[in-house]
Amino acid sequence: MFNRFVVIVIFVPLAIVLIALAVANRELVAFTMDPFNPGNPALTLTLPLFVMLFLALAIGIVAGSAATWIRQGRYRKAARRHGAEAENLRQAIARTQQPPSQATSQAPNLPKPTA
């Protein structure tokens, strides 16, 4: 239900705006990568303006996602470390709750303390 609401309220108007933008900006535009010689055909890309706008949007989304993923790396590492510590504690608790005949034959293997 919520997904259908998101599609109708957000994506449909966004699609309409993007289609209108593409239709209104069909003219060819030259994009040159040589600021000192703008007429150099080897470093000039000629595409419709809406294609360049969509490419810029896509590059921005990818760059922003990559930057966010890199910045949050320490949090993912901490979550993995805490998950491993929690699993070690669960295993140690499970070993201590074994029947007495098995518990006396094995000493509990507790995880090493971390700093």
pLDDT tens by residue, 2-46: 888 888 899 899 899 989 988 998 899 888 888 888 778 888 889
**pLDDT score recorded for residue 94:** 86
Contact 49/27 with Cβ under 8 angstroms?
A: yes
Domain-located, residue 9: yes
Domain-located, residue 61: yes
Contact 30/46 with Cβ under 8 angstroms?
A: yes
pLDDT surpasses 60 at 102: no
**Which domain, by its residues, includes 17?**
2-73
This prediction's pTM: 0.59
**pLDDT score recorded for residue 28:** 92
Confidence category of residue 106, pLDDT binned at 50, 70, 90: low
The number of folded domains in the chain is: 1
Domain-located, residue 85: no
Distance in angstroms (rounded) separating the CA atoms of residues 92 and 107: 10
Distance in angstroms (rounded) separating the CA atoms of residues 46 and 26: 12
Distance in angstroms (rounded) separating the CA atoms of residues 90 and 106: 16
3-state secondary structure of 35: coil
Residue 80 token pair: 């993995």
**pLDDT score recorded for residue 16:** 93
Question: Which residues have a Cβ under 8 Å from the Cβ of 91 and sit 6 or more positions away?
Answer: 109
Regarding predicted confidence, which is higher, 111 or 73? 73
pLDDT tens by residue, 39-92: 788 888 899 999 999 999 999 999 999 999 999 999 999 988 888 888 888 888
